[in-house]
Chain A
Amino acid sequence: MPGLNMADIEKMSARDAFGSALVAAGEKNPNLVLLGADAIGSTRAAAFADRFPERTFNFGIAEQEMVSAAAGFALCGKVPIATAYGFLISLRACEQVRDDICYQNLNVKLMSTHAGLSMAAGGTTHHSTEDVAIMRSFANMTIVAPSDALETVKAVQAVIDYNGPVYLRMGRGSLESVYSSEFVFEVGKSIQLRDGGDVTLIAYGIMVAEALKAAESLALEGIEARVINMHTIKPLDEAAVLKAANDTGCIVTAEEHNIIGGLGEAVAGCTSAAVPVPVLRVGINDIFCGIGPEDGLRAKLGLTAADITAAAKKAVALKR
């Protein structure tokens, strides 16, 4: 990636990686414009705003206007990147996303930060735990959720190069590195991070690192887990899912999202039609999550490696 040093990226928070990637993309494409809603600083899109002030538009605290205006930009030949926290794009501007972006099938990139529970003590109003369900239900929409800083940088560039509406879902803080070596990121093509024949763990975002840890502890107990990073949740990489169902006979999905409408349902929907195997879903069990630090909340809600490990054992038992 021009101007970006991989070693530096690995140390960045997801938001900072996002900012750097935006600048790199802006250098390449003069039609790229940045739209914000009084959170250009806190989403870290500010790096782009500093570099390209004439291509940056702050709408104030008016997310609905921002998303509809993005449609206007796209209709006049620009490539708008509309940025806000996940709940604001998916909930506040929900109808604008459906009618103005998806229905009109415009080349707009909705780039959200503070995914899942990463706004922690912000509480329910600031958690983004329904966004994937909402975005999945819109025809024409593509959903991408990177799992570490390096993948965030690649994902930003890939979705900008991709033609059509995209919802990019990014976290807030530092992410554990998932990738140790160079890899190719392609929208719609999942990445297998580990092979195994007993169970497949499929995750996205922050839960990929947890799935890798779960696979390690399962291995100690003689259970070999395949781990798939499903960075594109829609369109789902059905080939990889069906292959996993055939090869390992059971699947556990993991996501920092309500289990209703998320990756788990997408995977179960895919397997049930072709290779019906047990699919267990690790996620938020349809509750509002409350207040607390990120780690504490995730532990309380059952979103840790240990929870994935337990689900994997259940899944393995179910297939016998």
Chain B
Amino acid sequence: MEKLNAEELGCKANEIRLDAMVMGKQAGGGHLGGGLSSMDIMTALYFNVMNIDPAKPDMPDRDRFILSAGHKAVGYVPVLAEAGFFSKDLLSTFNKLDSPFGMHPDMHKIPGCEASTGSLGHGLPIGVGMALALRMDKNPARIFVLLGDGETHEGTVWEAAMGAAQHKLDNLTAIIDYNKCSMDGPIDEVVSLEPINDKWASFGWNVIRVDGHNMSELLDAFAKAAGQKGPTVIIADTLKAKGMPFAEGDYLWHYGCPSDEQIEETRIYLEEK
């Protein structure tokens, strides 16, 4: 796939934000808070970083992306459509009976989707398994796992964190969408992750901290991760619901349904950027 530069990526991400909002609206609601906070990360991966070919979703040496925080599907599904894995016309079926897409992604129904997720805390251990298997086969593919910050409350995340370091998984990169919110509230009021950098470093991971809405920083981080020994975590500071001016940073937009006026307001806001 043709690689977009940082500026183009920023525009692309904002276009897809609107697709996600329209899709969420048609479905009567969606996890837009987390879907949009991760949008720049996913756009950077699919339109620059990853070695993928939407025409050949089974290509053996393709890089793998696992949406461990499966509820972000409302953001992820339009990224896959925009990348060309399937027609954008299908987006209007989101959440409908027999649609390939619902709130959480199903790998058997969505071209380009590598793992069915939805219950939090499964993606990183699946990524560990993939990283071990691909390394056995001397396959050069990289594995990217996107986690919610709240998701890292789950014990399985830390089991995988230990395992990945133990096995020195150079080919595994985790990205934490650190939007500082989970479902019930600001994460520091629910269960804090701090000191987050030190935690991951002490588990044997390379830690890169970035602004998760700055494409240049994201691209640099992914490039740097490629050359590291052992697993790398990119901790991306983000805003929940990034891009919706009336909702940015608001945990109450974890799940919601925008009005037509709010979609229009967002369109104008993003065009001005």
Interface residue? B84 (CB, 8 A): no
Q: Which of B99-107, B215-223, B225-233, B261-269 contacts A (4 or more CB under 8 A)?
A: B99-107
Q: How far is the CB of B157 from chain A (nearest CB, A)?
A: 9
Which residues of B sit under 8 angstroms from A92, Cβ to Cβ?
Answer: 119
Contacts of B70 in A (CB 8 A): 125
Interface pair B95/A291, CB less than 8 Å apart: yes
Taking CB atoms, residues of chain B closer than 8 Å to A40 are 184
- Docked-complex contact A36 and B184, CB < 8 angstroms: yes
Contacts of A297 in B (CB 8 A): 97
B155 x A65 contact (CB < 8 A): yes
A91 to B119, CA, bound (A): 10
**C-alpha gap A124/B122 in the complex (Å):** 14
Prevailing SS type, chain B contact patch = loop
A243 beta carbon closer than 8 Å to chain B: no
- The residue on B at minimum CB distance from A88 is B119
Give the residues from 185 to 212 in chain B that come closer than 8 angstroms, CB to CB, to chain A.
187, 190-191
Contact across chains for A125 and B116 when beta carbons are under 8 A apart: yes
Task: Give the interface residue-count category, chain B.
Answer: 20 to 34
**A121 & B184 in contact (Cβ 8 Å cutoff):** no
Contact residues, A239-270 vs B (CB, 8 A): none
Q: B183 touching A125 by the CB < 8 A rule? A: no
Contact residues of B between 26 and 44, Cβ < 8 Å to A: 27
Residue of A nearest to B118 (CB): A125
Report yes or no: A61 in contact with B103, Cβ–Cβ below 8 A.
no
- Complex Cα distance, B109 from A291, in Å, reads 11
**Which among B99, B116, B184 is the interface contact of A39 at CB below 8 angstroms?**
B184
CB distance from B90 to the nearest CB of A (A): 13
Q: B191 to A291, Cβ gap below 8 A?
A: no
Complex CA distance for A38 and B121, rounded to whole angstroms? 14
Of the residues A42, A60, A88, A122, contact of B102 by C-beta under 8 Å: A122
Binary contact readout B84-101 vs A (1 if CB under 8 angstroms, 0 otherwise): 000000000001111101
Q: Is the CB of A38 within 8 A of B103?
A: no
Cβ contacts under 8 Å, A91 to chain B: 119
* Contact A38:B118 (CB < 8 A) given known A121-B95, A124-B106, A300-B97: no
Contact across chains for A60 and B97 when beta carbons are under 8 A apart: no
Contact of B121 among A61, A126, A290, A293 (CB under 8 A): A61
Contacts A65-B155, A292-B98; is A125 near B104 (CB within 8 Å)? yes
Query: Which of B98, B117, B191 touches A60 (beta carbons < 8 Å)?
Result: B191
A-B contact pairs, 16 of them (CB 8 A): A39-B184, A40-B184, A59-B191, A61-B121, A61-B150, A61-B182, A61-B183, A62-B154, A88-B119, A124-B116, A125-B104, A126-B103, A291-B96, A291-B101, A292-B102, A293-B97
On B, residues with C-beta under 8 Å from A are 27, 70, 95-99, 101-104, 106, 116-121, 150-151, 153-155, 182-184, 187, 190-191
